[in-house]
Chains A and B, each alone.
Chain A
């Protein structure tokens, strides 16, 4: 039996090398160039506006220690408090939702994602309304019930830490829950079989086994807290409490602008964060504590009996504090004629929403944010998919360095990166400063770690043999990527797209520096409104932003569920 004669394989152009090179050049340029400007500027001790700098020196760094030491101590103190609280929140929630049999776990787990979409900015605004001294809702209630003075004062270091912890708590939760989920239940079961009670098992078996995951989460969260900006801006500045990020912000907004000082502080912060994240990576790599294997275990949940309602309440309380209460407070404020929590003085109106929707700039800002999100996510995921393939599947020499390069922006606080980008692009001959193109480039660069991490998780799950088989069948690299790899990556690509889209719409740290009259985006507009318009208008804008994001999220989630169903 013979087959019809089959075709001939022709030698092909080496697309893989070309595309790889192009991708590396572009990414290297986007990530490293701004940082070189930042480093250069930090040594500028002459006229801040001159470029290239006229005088060089380490004066800026010395000044940090001489004049701004309290800023450093504030930053560390707040970060420590916030991390401690976030880890406690995350750990408790993770334990309740993965190891116990509390009812409605699946729904609760979904709800845990909501605070992430709320953004600390919106949360800070809302909690300001709730707990500002004398006029916060809670304080008013307290006074009505006969209390003297204030029950809460949000304008304190603890207040800032509280808000940061509330919203970063979800990140801690996700990381610790992942580590708890991948624990082999047999390890606990053998303890129980030998007679150890629930508590004893939890303390002597479960806890030590998840410790590496908790430690990793702690480091990661701490690094993020150091670079956090929104809460410190809204709550810290009125309370006269400055942290590094708001100090950097402040330096660039005064006349004459202290760019050198800001750059020096930014670099200092970056180095600390970098150190922490490297340490975190080392801990995670080292953790071969036999819990994280390839298989996903289904741990047997503990029966909590009567306590399960209490635990359910704990989860519900978190969602209440992080999502329900802030939205309610903002809703209330946004419907007032002028912001007051003193109900006797309040007058209600829809005018704020009218204003918010009719304000051309708000509409433009919202449209810009959505367009940027769409554009950056769409182009970004393709490039990131290529990058991920290069790192994990190619034989390229030095692909480990590519991974490092791509994860780099994570170690740089957004704020600082924004400053670096501002400085770099102000002085580059390509005139994209003040346009949406610069914002698009900036967003793409800062989203690289997020996208690459998400896609990497999916790529690693694709069996290598699926790609090898294509090659064996005669497919060149490009054909294989198009017909096999990218289609298989679809669920991951969609997930990454969603995450990037939302992150773009919420983006604040980089955008504050790079906006121009024709390139406004929504989060900095909310900050600007908070500074120069009333709280009522700000509340309305914040709510509009939050709901737009959630609506977009729901739509996209529905669409992707349909698509991923096809693949399974």
Chain B
């Protein structure tokens, strides 16, 4: 009896080692190929032979199209396709498809770390170590590296239209938003949003338990995309965006719209948009090529131009002349697992606050 226990224990230890060994087995290739502005370990010829690439992402369609177009310009033989959905919906679709053994997507971006970690646990990511991952701080990528990496950082502040809200009465802190004059004039994102989850998670301990209950009394309206949110303060349907995505402010200001953005003293909650290669994807080589390009300087610059998003790389400047990352007081969750666990409770309270069905 004892002997069998020992044997089983030994075997399981070996098994674990083997497993983690297998995990750690994927490593950086010996001779990364230098492309125009970035290094790649992918087999470029095979990637072009595959001829296609599919991205699932939460970013607005127009932006995704621009980003993918930049990639396609470099590799015209690889046709690109995408699906855009808000984080919760995207993840639901991803899981449903995998469960039905329908593998349609190569790379996925989800703006909620909780979902990313969950996907990793389910073995959804394929490990691939890109030579460009060296440029990312360890906290910006998976451990061991190669499963997922931060493609950009999005931060949330307060935004308003200076034509409708004078500088004097404009809110400067998160607490200012509880002022009764902003009742029925604030919009936020839906509970599906990773960014909104981040806002809630980071501000609750700082501003106190009561804050969000009082905020709910302001009757905020929830939308799926920052584009809708900004659109509504431009034409006056709402006055304030709480948890306004900074990239949206840059984008609309560049279009000539009247937008003012506030970075409250307390800090701006920030979450990453995380990218990873999906296991069993239909075009593995193209996926690797894309990741290398995307995580490299040319891809990150293209992202900045397409979506006005801040890169997690230190050597890429802020998009559209916006404030640099290092100049912001970013509030990022330290423990992503706790973040993930808190999601159902956030979703329930948020839905109640915005009057969604549940």
Contact = CB atoms under 8 A, between A and B. Distances in A.
16 contacts: A49-B99, A67-B358, A240-B355, A254-B88, A254-B92, A255-B88, A338-B252, A339-B234, A340-B234, A345-B258, A361-B61, A517-B81, A517-B82, A531-B225, A531-B228, A534-B231
Contacts of B231: 338-339, 534-535
Describe B's contact surface by its main secondary structure.
mixed
Contacts of A134: 235-237
Given A339-B235, A434-B97, A535-B231, 20 more contacts: A51-B99, A67-B357, A132-B235, A132-B237, A242-B356, A242-B357, A253-B92, A254-B88, A255-B92, A337-B256, A338-B256, A339-B234, A347-B256, A426-B102, A431-B102, A433-B100, A434-B104, A531-B228, A532-B62, A532-B227
Going nearest first, the 6 A-B pairs with the smallest beta carbon separation are: A255-B88, A253-B89, A240-B355, A257-B92, A426-B100, A135-B235
A529 B61 CA distance: 7
Nearest to A344: B163
Contact of B97 (A51, A255, A339, A426): A426
Contacts of B256: 337-338, 347
Interface of A: 49-51, 67-68, 71, 132-135, 238, 240, 242, 247, 250, 252-257, 337-342, 345, 347, 355, 359-361, 426-427, 431, 433-434, 515-518, 528-535, 537
B60 interface: yes
B203 interface: no
A534 B226 CA distance: 10
B196 interface: no
B84 A532 contact: yes
A255 B114 CA distance: 11
Given A338-B252, A345-B163, A516-B83, A254 B191 contact: yes
B221 A532 contact: no
A337 to B, nearest CB: 6
Contacts of A337: 255-256
A518 B81 contact: yes
Nearest to B102: A433
Contact of B235 (A68, A257, A341): A341
B197 to A, nearest CB: 11
A305 to B, nearest CB: 47
Pick from B56, B235, B256 the residue with the most CB of A within 10 Å. B235
Contact of B84 (A257, A431, A528): A528
A121 to B, nearest CB: 16
| Candidate in A135, A257, A517, A518 with the most chain B CB atoms within 10 angstroms | A517
Q: How large is the interface on B (under 10, 10 to 19, 20 to 34, 35 or more residues)?
A: 35 or more
B300 interface: no
A362 to B, nearest CB: 9
B260 interface: no
Nearest to A243: B357
B54 A255 contact: no
A132 B97 CA distance: 38
B95 A49 contact: yes
Contacts of A530: 228
B152 interface: no
Contacts of A433: 97, 100, 102
Contacts of B221: 238, 240
B89 A361 contact: no
B201 interface: no
B302 interface: no
A72 to B, nearest CB: 11
B105 interface: yes
Contacts of B97: 426, 433-434
Contacts of B125: none
Contact of A254 (B255, B258, B347): B347
A255 B56 CA distance: 16
A361 B65 contact: yes
Residue of A49, A426, A515, A531 most packed against chain B (CB within 10 A): A531
Contacts of B347: 254
Contacts, number: 137
B57 to A, nearest CB: 10
A394 to B, nearest CB: 39
B227 A533 contact: yes
A342 B236 contact: yes
A517 B206 CA distance: 41
A238 B354 CA distance: 10
Given A254-B192, A257-B92, A533-B227, A51 B100 contact: yes
A81 B192 CA distance: 32
Interface in B221-266: 221, 223-225, 227-228, 231, 234-237, 252, 255-258
A461 to B, nearest CB: 46
B115 interface: yes
B128 interface: no
B295 interface: no
B86 interface: yes
A255 B87 contact: yes
A393 B152 CA distance: 66
B54 A517 contact: yes
Contacts of B84: 528, 532
B237 A133 contact: yes
B79 to A, nearest CB: 9
B318 interface: no
Nearest to A135: B235
Nearest to B59: A532
Contacts of B356: 240, 242, 250
Interface string B268-283: 0000000000000000
Nearest to B87: A255
A297 B65 CA distance: 58
Task: Find the residue from B163, B236, B252 having the highest chain A CB count within 10 A.
Answer: B236
A49 B228 CA distance: 31
Contacts of B115: 255
Interface string B92-116: 1001110110101100000000010
A67 B357 CA distance: 8
A531 B224 contact: yes
A528 B64 CA distance: 13
B85 interface: yes
Contacts of B105: 517
Contacts of A359: 61-62, 65
A148 to B, nearest CB: 15
Contacts of A515: 83
B232 to A, nearest CB: 8
A532 B231 CA distance: 11
A468 B69 CA distance: 63
Nearest to A422: B96
A545 to B, nearest CB: 16
Central interface residue in A240, A255, A426, by most chain B CB within 10 Å: A255
B71 interface: no
A187 B256 CA distance: 68
B357 A250 contact: yes
A240 B356 CA distance: 6
Nearest to B344: A256
B148 interface: no
B225 A517 contact: no
A57 B163 CA distance: 55
Nearest to B351: A254
Contacts of A253: 85-86, 88-89, 92, 192
Contacts of A528: 61, 84
